[in-house]
Amino acid sequence: MRLLRYGPVGSERPAVQVEDGRTFDLTSLTDDIDGAFLAGDGLERVRVALASGTLAALDIDGERIGSPIARPPAVLCIGMNYAAHAAESGSEPPSTPVLFHKHPGTVVGPDDDVVLPAGSTHSDWEVELGVVLEGTPNRLGTVDEAMDYVAGYVLANDLSERYSQIDVSGGQWSKGKSAPTFCPTGPYLVPADEVDPQDVALKSWVNAEARQDSSTTDMVFTVAEIIHHLSHHVLMLPGDLILTGTPEGVALSGRFPYLEVGDVMELEASGLGRQRQVVVPA
């Protein structure tokens, strides 16, 4: 199964889609797909309701699809987590996970327009595997414990304004990561037990030209290692979104032009769906 949210911005409704494409309303179980729902055994309650046949069928053809998670308390991002991307950025792979934050307000739907910041000439795309938490991992004893806190996985675009990130950052990347619309997420939240997070193919295109084509098998730090490490440094909460890094093939490499108004980005993650965004002016 895969969870989603549909409808106008700010009025999204929760739904679940099953393997044959049928979609069912989740408002009998929850007002939204958020941290409280996930922490309250929400995914299991959805499975039980599907099995019992008590959920109402939906037709969402033509509806806008929103982010599959509502109001993440935090968006925690891991930098340089693919060796080839570190190399194209002029850096060695890190010896410990690099953490920066995006503002949660950057999270939008998978096909929503992306707003190019006024005057930006260095905005970049980054296809990533996103991890959604359903618990509060705190000072975990072993790496193996980490996966007990994962609700599921999403596809995300960690957009970056590189001038703000690097040239005027003051040493912190978040300034270049937190422009409005800079985290398209979804279309689906797929439960953790249906995804192998270390074997997800990631691809991106700009104007139908291939940019990134890699896999999470190339991560420097696994999802479990990331969560275990962060649990010793950061308060994480149910509903938090962790972005696990991007593979090589971004504009920062110098091989491709940065984004311009009118460009079309497409992103894909195996088992997690596909996105399409048009770049529009501020």
SS (H, E, C) 21-74: CCEEECCCCCCCCCHHHHHCCHHHHHHHHHHHCCCCEECCCCCCEECCCCCCCC
Q: What is the mean pLDDT of residues 114-127?
A: 97
pLDDT digits (tens, 9 = 90+) for 52-107: 999 999 999 999 999 999 999 999 999 999 988 877 777 788 999 999 999 999 99
pLDDT for the residue numbered 90: 78
* Amino acid (1-letter code) at residue 151: A
pLDDT for the residue numbered 269: 98
Fold of the domain built from segment(s) 69-281: Fumarylacetoacetate hydrolase; domain 2 (3.90.850)
Mean pLDDT of the chain: 96
pLDDT digits (tens, 9 = 90+) for 161-176: 998 888 887 778 888 9
Check if the beta carbon of residue 161 is closer than 8 Å to that of residue 123: yes
Closest CA to 81 of 137, 138, 158, 180: 158
CA-CA distance, 244 to 179, in Å (whole number)?
19
Listed by start position, the domains of the chain span: 2-65, 69-281
Q: What is the mean pLDDT of residues 138-159?
A: 98
pLDDT digits (tens, 9 = 90+) for 223-258: 999 999 999 999 999 999 999 999 999 999 999 999
CA-CA distance, 49 to 43, in Å (whole number)?
10
Percent of the chain with pLDDT over 90: 91
pLDDT for the residue numbered 74: 98
pLDDT score of 273 more than 90: yes
Percent of the chain with pLDDT over 70: 100
Q: Can you tell me whether residue 90 is helix, strand or coil?
A: coil
CA distances from 191 to 6, 38, 50, 80, 108 (A): 18, 11, 14, 26, 20
CA-CA distance, 178 to 186, in Å (whole number)?
18
